[in-house]
Amino acid sequence: MIKVGIYHSDAKHKSINKINNHSILSQISKSCLSCLKLSNHTNKMFAKFVLPFISLMGFVSAQLPNFPDNIVVFPERDFITVEGFNGISGVQSFAGEQLTLQVVRNINGVNVLQGEAVATVSGTDIAFEVNHPGGYCWGAGSTLQATPDIRRGSIDANGVVTPGDSLILRHGADIIASTVVQNGIITDRNILDNVITIQGEVFGLVDPLAIEARIVAPALRISPVAFRDVRAVPGLGVVVNPGYSASLEIHGNTWNSTMTFFDDLGNPDPVTASIAFAGAFSVSTWQFTDVNGNAQGLTISEFGEAGGPMTANCPPYAGTLQPIFPDGVAYTSDSIYWNPAVDQLGTNFPFNYYDVEVLRATADPTKSAIVGAARVDRNTRTVTLASGLQTGDVIEVRAAQIYGGVDQVTSARKKVVFPLTVLDAQVPTFSVADGGVGRTVALNSPQGLQIAYTITDGAVGTAVALGTNALIYVDGTEIPITNTQTIQAIAFDTAGVISAAASATITNPYPAQVTGVTATQISIAGVNKIRVAWNAITGATGYKVYAIAGNVKTLVSTINVATATNTDIGTPTLSNNVAYTFTVVAYQVFAGVAYDGISSLASNAVVFVSTDVLTYTVRFKANTELRVSGTGSVSGAIISIYSGPNKTGVILGSGAVTNNAYDIRIKPIPAGIVTITVASSMGFTANVVV
């Protein structure tokens, strides 16, 4: 049994107070920087017992961000705050650039994307937020239009822990940070007179001390507590604080905390206990504690909060996503065939059945009779009807998500009116000849019959078997071709007469559409350029980069490298103080001919500045602080103050240009400074006599 408790000295309270901004009071979320700094006692325990354990177990925290960069998740609200990534931590600044935040779940050994959002880093303490008022919706800039149900892990009867969802932050294709949803939760809370008890679960922590329980109630400020919250943290046992005492005990995979409230004279104080009980309960767990006591990879589980999209304008909650049922229902006189339905990415309820019904007209024109019905599992795509079909019958097929005996979500029904026609089936034809080149191919029956087909990678096709591996062709549609594929097709009539098979091997040499195109102003050896970056395309020979200024689109670079992911463009190709967006097209050389793919979506707009423009003001404050502030023309540029002229000496301080302004404060003022250098990472430098 581990006993942990609460500390509440002024110094320690201030060091973790910023976590209050993440409470379930739906206040505007601010930075969680230093939101969980541990006591000296806890740090010693961590160094003595936990660090050796991490080393022995091979725990890798390399993908965890370094303070003040962080990823903070509120799983009940499916809400994530990304902090920093503005260069202050010592790693690359991404201010003004786009990052992709992903929620990934391991399902039966396969990592499956559950949610995604593309956001621009602000350059301030809070880089961006997802699924929180004022932030980004899940699905922003992504083809995955769903709000994920972010989940913690689970533990089985043998104590084996399945980790929670992974949270991955990417710059282009590169992973720059990641964490895992931690497994602390509050299961119940109670109050009796002046005593509050809290119960919960916790398991799978690498650091058994990485947990804090908290109640946030602003009205506590005017109570004997004198702070807006009360809390319990690891390693301190029962601790008496102004207005209350608290302890927390861990028993295996459960924990409980007791908080006892008293007035200034030490008497029981049920009034203050009631104020606290009306507040917001949460438990925080985190993945790693750095040497300065900062909690990295932080999960804040909020009791009583609900998930889903933050507004009606955001994509729907994953639990309500219906399966997609592609067109394609075919039939003979006694059998029905259909194309497979597809679960939407991120759904909580994969479909598990198909329902098939045959409706027949009755003497009452307002009613139909069900003359055939079947429910089959999701791996079946055909049914045979004992009574057979008649002209005028209506066939309906739907995919159903059925759990607990209830239809949770069902796809739209696909209806086909059965006509009775009997013809000798002739071989179908292809819009692209065997051995030809094309992005897509269409099929055709000269007699207007139904067509079934298979599509196989490579030059050898797979025979068509109705009801087993066949796909039903929908008249007039185009079948996409990937690389080189072979299509085998048959036509069949409603009597069940099947034609001979036709075959065509077709190659699609056109690369896929390039994604993830971003544009960023950079400086290389004092020369400013715009770096255009993108995700590499498998099978591409190279890339063409186009700059767009107003209505003019110009090819500015051709890169003959298949694995290229960026290029730098500057003068004289680009003009000073002109706003540009960029698109990228992949191309592939096939049989001596270059084939261009589809143009990417346009990047973010960037004003090209051949050399940035900086203003600066140097001030002293009571001879204890040197303050350099001003404006900058390039957002995200890093301004550094050197102790000597011409960028000599040491860097006294630095900061990023945010909203075209910067403010750097240096204290104490080093002795002997005569001339400083104000230097921008985007090329500007100036010597200033102080």
Q: What is the pLDDT of residues 343-373, one digit of tens each?
A: 876 676 788 888 888 888 888 888 889 888 8
Mean pLDDT of the chain: 82
Q: What is the pLDDT of residue 214?
A: 94
Whole-number pLDDT of residue 204 = 78
- Residue 319 DSSP SS3: helix
pLDDT at 199 over 90: yes
Residue found by looking up tokens 């191919």 in the block: 441
- Which CATH class name applies to 429-507? mainly beta
What is the rounded (10 degree) CA torsion for 402, 404, 405, 406? -60
Tell me: the pLDDT tens digits for 103-149?
A: 988 877 778 888 899 999 988 889 999 999 889 999 998 888 888 88
Closest C-alpha among 479, 468, 542, 539 to residue 509: 539
pLDDT at 408: 59
**What is the structure's pLDDT at 5?**
38
| Residue at 61: amino acid letter | S
Q: Which residues of 378-401 are buried (b: 16+ CB within 10 A; e: fewer)?
A: bebbbbebeeebeeebebbbbbbb
List phi, psi (to 5°) of 312: -65, -15
* Type of residue found at 503: S
Is 364 buried (19+), middle (13-18) or exposed (0-12) by CB count in 10 A? exposed
- The answer to whether 499 touches 491, Cβ cutoff 8 Å, is yes
Confidence category of residue 27, pLDDT binned at 50, 70, 90: very low
Residue 574 near residue 581, CB atoms below 8 Å: no
> In the prediction, which pLDDT does 402 show?
67
DSSP 8-state assignment for residue 559: E
Q: What is the CATH number of domain 617-689?
A: 2.60.40
pLDDT at 371: 87
Length of the chain: 690
pLDDT value for 552: 92
pLDDT band at 213 (very low <50, low <70, confident <90, very high): very high
Question: Are 151 and 181 within 8 A, CB to CB?
Answer: yes
- For the chain, the domains span 2-26+184-290, 63-180, 322-417, 429-507, 518-608, 617-689
**Pair 231, 196: CB distance under 8 Å:** no
Percentage, residues of the chain above pLDDT 70: 87
668-678 pLDDT tens trace = 888 888 899 99
Provide the pLDDT confidence category of residue 425 given band limits of 50, 70 and 90: confident
Model pLDDT, residue 584: 97
pLDDT beyond 50 at 56: no
For residue 230, CA distances in Å to 19, 135, 192, 270, 281 come to 12, 29, 17, 15, 10
Kindly report which listed range (28-32, 299-303, 477-481) carries the lowest average pLDDT score.
28-32
| Side chain identity at residue 371, one-letter code | V
* Each residue's pLDDT tens digit, 521-548: 888 877 889 999 999 998 899 999 999 9
pLDDT tier at 40 (50, 70, 90 boundaries)? very low
- End-to-end C-alpha distance for the chain, whole angstroms: 61
Half-sphere exposure of 74 (CA within 13 A, CB side): 28
Span 181-207, mean pLDDT?
89
Per-residue pLDDT tens for 224-252?
999 999 998 876 677 788 899 988 888 88
Query: Residue 291: its pLDDT value, please?
Result: 83
Topology (CATH level 3) of domain 322-417: Immunoglobulin-like (2.60.40)
CA 678 to chain CA centroid, Å, is: 38
Q: Tell me the one-letter amino acid at 544.
A: K
pLDDT in the model for residue 1: 35
Q: Would you put residue 37 in left (φ > 0), alpha (ψ -120 to 50) or beta?
A: beta
- The region of weakest confidence among 401-415, 486-500, 546-560, 609-623 is 401-415
What architecture is the 518-608 domain classified under in CATH? Sandwich (2.60)
Q: Is the pLDDT of residue 262 over 80?
A: yes
CA contacts within 13 A on the Cβ side of 583: 15
Residues with Cβ within 8 Å of 9's Cβ and at least 6 positions away in sequence, in order, are none
Check residue 18 and give its pLDDT: 34
Q: Residue holding tokens 């909690």?
A: 295
DSSP, collapsed to helix, strand or coil, labels residue 375 as strand
Give the H or E element holding residue 12: helix 10-16
Q: Return the minimum-mean-pLDDT range out of 159-163, 378-382, 527-531.
A: 159-163
For residues 66 and 19, the model is more confident at 66
How high is the pLDDT of residue 311?
80
pLDDT at site 400: 81
Q: How is residue 279 annotated by DSSP?
A: S
Least confident among 10-19, 239-248, 352-361, 451-460: 10-19
Per-residue CA distances from 397 to 326, 377, 419, 495 (Å)? 11, 13, 17, 21
Residue 287's pLDDT is what? Answer: 87
pLDDT band at 34 (very low <50, low <70, confident <90, very high): very low
pLDDT of residue 406: 58
Two tokens, residue 294: 């900062």
Q: What is the predicted pLDDT for the residue at 325? A: 76
130: left (phi over 0), alpha (psi -120 to 50) or beta: beta
Fold agreement (322-417, 429-507): yes
CA distance 231 to 226: 13
Model pLDDT, residue 138: 92
